[in-house]
Structure 1
Amino acid sequence: MTLERLFACGTIVVSLLIRSPRAHIGLVLLVIGVFMGGQASAQSSAEWIQFRGPTQQGIASSVKLPTEWGPETNITWRKELPGVGWSSPVTADGRIYLTTAVPLGEGRKADQSLRTVCLDADSGDVVWDVEVFQQDGETAPKIHTKNSHASATPILEGPFVYVHFGHMGTACLRKQDGSIVWGKQELAYKPTHGNGGSPVLFGDNLIFSIDANEKQAVIALHKATGDIVWQTPRNVPDLPKYFAFCTPLLIEVNGQTQLISQGSGAVMSLDPHNGQEIWRVTYGDGYSVVPRPIFANGLVYVCTGYDRSSLIAMRPDGHGDVTETHVEFILDRNVPYNPSPVAVDDAVYMISDNGILSCVDGITGDVRWKNRIGGNFSASLLTANGLIYMLDEAGKSTIVRHADEYEEVAQNDLAERALASFGIHNDAILLRTEKALYRIENK
Structure 2
Amino acid sequence: MKRTLVAMLLITMLAGVSQAENWPNWRGPGFNGVASKGDFPTTWNVDQNISWKLELPGVGSSTPAIWEDSILITANDGGFNLIICLDRSGKEKWRTQIGSSRDGKHRKASGSNPSPVTDGESIFVYYKSGDLACLNFDGKLNWLTNLQKEHGEDTLWWDLGTSPVLTRDSVVIAVMQTGPSFLLGIDKKTGKQIWKSDRNLDAPLEAAQSYSTPIVVNDDGNESLLVLGADYVTGHDASNGKELWRVGTLNPNGEKYWRSIASPVLSDGILLAPYARGRTLTAINVGSAKPSVAWTVDGICADVPTPIASNGTAICMTDKGLVTKIDEKTGKQ
2-structure distance, mates of 1:101, 1:305 = 31
Q: Which has the higher contact order (CA 8 A, sep 6+)?
A: 1
Task: Give the match's secondary structure for 1:67.
Answer: coil
Amino acid at match of 2:172: I
Q: Report the equivalent of 2:8.
A: none
1-structure distance, mates of 2:320, 2:37 = 31
Q: Report the equivalent of 1:4.
A: none
Change in Cα spacing, 1:238 to 1:294, as seen in structure 2 (3 Å) is closer
- Structure 2 residue runs of 5 or longer lacking an equivalent are 1-18
TM-score, structure 1 normalization: 0.65
Q: Report the equivalent of 2:76.
A: 101
Change in Cα spacing, 1:226 to 1:187, as seen in structure 2 (3 Å) is farther
Map of 1:65-76 to 2, 5 A cutoff? 65-76=40-51
Equivalent residue pairs, number: 305
2-structure distance, mates of 1:119, 1:341 = 28
2-structure distance, mates of 1:142, 1:69 = 30
1-structure distance, mates of 2:259, 2:307 = 16
2-structure distance, mates of 1:116, 1:360 = 38
User: Would you say the 8 A contact 1:90–1:154 is kept in 2?
Assistant: yes
Q: Report the equivalent of 2:3.
A: none
Q: Report the equivalent of 1:151.
A: 113
Task: Give the match's secondary structure for 1:76.
Answer: coil
Task: Give the match's secondary structure for 1:329.
Answer: strand
Change in Cα spacing, 1:255 to 1:201, as seen in structure 2 (3 Å) is closer
Task: Give the match's secondary structure for 1:215.
Answer: coil
Q: Report the equivalent of 1:189.
A: 153
User: Would you say the 8 A contact 1:303–1:312 is kept in 2?
Assistant: yes
2-structure distance, mates of 1:244, 1:211 = 5
1-structure distance, mates of 2:263, 2:328 = 16
Task: Quote how far apart the aligned CAs of 1:162 are.
Answer: 0.4
Amino acid at match of 1:154: P
Task: Quote how far apart the aligned CAs of 1:114 are.
Answer: 0.6
Moved over 3 A (4+): 252-256, 317-320
Q: Which moved more, 1:337-346 or 1:311-320?
A: 311-320
Task: Quote how far apart the aligned CAs of 1:318 are.
Answer: 5.5
Task: Give the match's secondary structure for 2:181.
Answer: strand
TM-score, structure 2 normalization: 0.85
Amino acid at match of 2:313: A
Tell me how large the CA RMSD over aligned residues is: 2.1
- Structure 1 residue runs of 5 or longer lacking an equivalent are 1-43, 105-111, 369-443
Task: Quote how far apart the aligned CAs of 1:59 are.
Answer: 1.2
Deviations 1:100-140 (A, max 9, x none): 011x3xxxxxxx21110111112x111111111113xxxx5
2-structure distance, mates of 1:196, 1:117 = 19
**1:314 lines up with 2:291 in the alignment:** no
2:83 paired residue among 116, 133, 139: 116
Change in Cα spacing, 1:250 to 1:45, as seen in structure 2 (3 Å) is farther
2-structure distance, mates of 1:224, 1:91 = 21
Amino acid at match of 1:65: F
Change in Cα spacing, 1:141 to 1:263, as seen in structure 2 (3 Å) is farther
Q: Report the equivalent of 1:223.
A: 188
Task: Quote how far apart the aligned CAs of 1:182 are.
Answer: 0.5
Q: Report the equivalent of 2:315.
A: 349
Task: Quote how far apart the aligned CAs of 1:305 are.
Answer: 4.0
Q: Report the equivalent of 2:167.
A: 202
**1:180 lines up with 2:165 in the alignment:** no
Task: Give the match's secondary structure for 2:195.
Answer: strand
Task: Quote how far apart the aligned CAs of 1:317 are.
Answer: 4.0
% identity of equivalent residues? 26
Q: Report the equivalent of 2:275.
A: 304
Q: Report the equivalent of 2:131.
A: 169
Quick check: which has more Rg, 1 or 2? 1
Q: Report the equivalent of 1:329.
A: 295
User: Would you say the 8 A contact 2:224–2:236 is kept in 1?
Assistant: yes
